[in-house]
Amino acid sequence: MHRKTEALIDLDAIRANYALACRLAPESRTIAVIKADAYGHGAVDVAHALQGSAPAFAVAIIDEALELREAGISEPLLVMEGVNSISALECAAEQELAVVVHNDEQLEDLERARLPTPISVWPKVDTGMHRLGLSPGSLADTVSRLRASDNCEASIVVCTHLASADVPGSAFTQQQLETFDACVADMGVLQSISNSGGILACPASHRDWNRPGYMLYGITPFSNDVASAAELRPAMTLQSEIIAIREVAASESVGYGGRWTASSAATIATVAIGYADGYPRHAPDGTPTIVNGCVAPLAGAVSMDLITIDVTGIEGARIGDTVTLWGEDLSVNTIAKAAGTIGYELLTGVTSRVARKFTM
Ligand SMILES: *Cc1c(COP(=O)(O)O)cnc(C)c1O
């Protein structure tokens, strides 16, 4: 019943990180991005925690928005991938969802629909990422068509997304900003560009609306130290417990495939977390965990439900001790780097088997 494999979520840290995003861009309004279950932290709880400070929330897909509405979240919600049918547009109108329009098909649907009330539309322009967005040359026409449509609210927010905001001073970001500015000039629309990286390191990308996600959860999007990111407070601590301890002799190996072999006598602790909980299967031997304030390196392949760590020399390590996989003293970015991925993937990959425990 009671498994001590938990993700502790510090909602106060999320509020502080949100406040930092606002403070860094005082001229902008800050929409809190809570897609993918708030990057694994629990979208409904995070939305509740930011109610009263965040004027709006953003999600990727309409189902995420509907879940928030069902849970009683009544703030404006932006669906960043937009919707792909007229019936979904009707649903968006009923639920008062704002939608991105990133291609001609979505624009045509919006013109053809007969919505009960006009909705807020965020046309997205492709300034170089080449993933989603209308071509810069077609933006003027799109905006005039939106203005002519009864389905579209008068206030239009033109947005784009930065491909390299995690690289401070990136020339590519500069190019995207120039492309954006050239195509929205004199259009009389609101603007939105910044994600976390843009907010923290590129003031020129701060516009009417900023869209931070990752930084709200207290992790830096940069691989190097950036001063503005130093204040971030990690919101998630992923922890588990030791459920077995054994001594192994020199040359004995541990786990599937015997990947790790003791070079001398060692104490191995088995911990109740594995890749089915979201701990990365690609984590190599030596990836740090923390036991009783000491680093205990991963020793052996990550299995579905368990990992094995080397607790040799950690005074008094025993069954029931807490093991921290990432959190305040061990950045998820460190684990991600060891496992060949990014912190975003690890945070969003913590599975539903792991109970979220919230502190205010
Ligand atoms: C996810 C996302 C964001 C937030 O990005 P972070 O790097 O997490 O801050 C902003 N805008 C769009 C369009 C997104 O998809």
Q: One digit per residue, pLDDT tens: the chain, 360 residues?
A: 678 999 999 999 999 999 999 999 999 999 999 999 999 999 999 999 999 999 999 999 999 999 999 999 999 999 999 999 999 999 999 999 999 999 999 999 999 999 999 999 999 999 999 999 999 999 999 999 999 999 999 999 999 999 999 999 999 999 999 999 999 999 999 999 999 999 999 999 999 999 999 999 999 999 999 999 999 999 999 999 999 999 999 999 999 999 999 999 999 999 999 999 999 999 999 999 999 999 999 999 999 999 999 999 998 999 999 999 999 999 999 999 999 999 999 999 999 999 999 998
**Which class for 122: exposed (0-12), middle (13-18), buried (19 or more C-beta within 10 A)?**
buried
- Output Rg (C-alpha) for the chain, integer angstroms: 23
Mutate to test the pocket of ligand 1, among 57, 79, 80 (most ligand atoms within 8 A of CB): 80
User: What whole-number distance in Å separates Cα of residue 27 and Cα of residue 21?
Assistant: 11
Mutate to test the pocket of ligand 1, among 161, 220, 348 (most ligand atoms within 8 A of CB): 161
β partners of residue 295: 290
Q: Where are the beta strands (DSSP E) in 132-259?
A: 157-159, 190-192, 209-210, 236-248, 253-254
Q: Is 196 in the pocket of ligand 1 (CB under 6 A)?
A: yes
CA-nearest residue for atom 12, ligand 1, is 161
Q: Is the dihedral of CA 265, 323, 273, 61 positive or negative?
A: negative
| Ligand 1 atom closest to Cα of residue 100 | 13
Return the DSSP state at 9. E
β partners of residue 248: 266
| Ligand 1 atom closest to Cα of residue 35 | 1
Distance 102 CA to ligand 1 centre (A): 15
Q: Is 211 in the pocket of ligand 1 (CB under 6 A)?
A: yes
Model pLDDT, residue 119 = 98
User: What whole-number distance in Å separates Cα of residue 104 and Cα of residue 197?
Assistant: 29
Distance 195 CA to ligand 1 centre (A): 5
| Predicted structure pTM score | 0.97
CB 49, CB 15: distance < 8 Å: yes
| Ligand 1 atom closest to Cα of residue 159 | 13
Active-site residue identified among 18, 39, 214, 256? 256
CB 152, CB 189: distance < 8 Å: no
Is 279 marked active-site?
no
**Which class for 297: exposed (0-12), middle (13-18), buried (19 or more C-beta within 10 A)?**
middle
| Ligand 1 atom closest to Cα of residue 221 | 7
Query: How would you classify the pairing of strands 77-79 and 57-59?
Result: parallel
Distance 263 CA to ligand 1 centre (A): 45
Chain centre distance of CA 187? 32
Q: Is 36 in the pocket of ligand 1 (CB under 6 A)?
A: no
- 3 state SS of 33: strand
CB 265, CB 250: distance < 8 Å: yes
User: What whole-number distance in Å separates Cα of residue 255 and Cα of residue 262?
Assistant: 12
Nearest residue to 107 via CA among 148, 68, 77 = 148
Query: What kind and span of H or E run contains 1?
Result: none
User: What whole-number distance in Å separates Cα of residue 45 and Cα of residue 356?
Assistant: 10
Model pLDDT, residue 360 = 85
Model pLDDT, residue 89 = 98
Is 256 marked active-site?
yes
Distance 33 CA to ligand 1 centre (A): 7
Q: Is 213 in the pocket of ligand 1 (CB under 6 A)?
A: yes
Distance 211 CA to ligand 1 centre (A): 6
CB 311, CB 289: distance < 8 Å: no
Distance 8 CA to ligand 1 centre (A): 23
Nearest residue to 100 via CA among 21, 35, 177, 175 = 35
Q: Is 210 in the pocket of ligand 1 (CB under 6 A)?
A: no
CB 345, CB 272: distance < 8 Å: no
Q: Which residues contact 51 (CB under 8 A, 6 or more apart)?
A: 73, 75
Active-site residue identified among 35, 275, 279, 344? 35
User: What whole-number distance in Å separates Cα of residue 80 and Cα of residue 102?
Assistant: 9
- 3 state SS of 189: coil
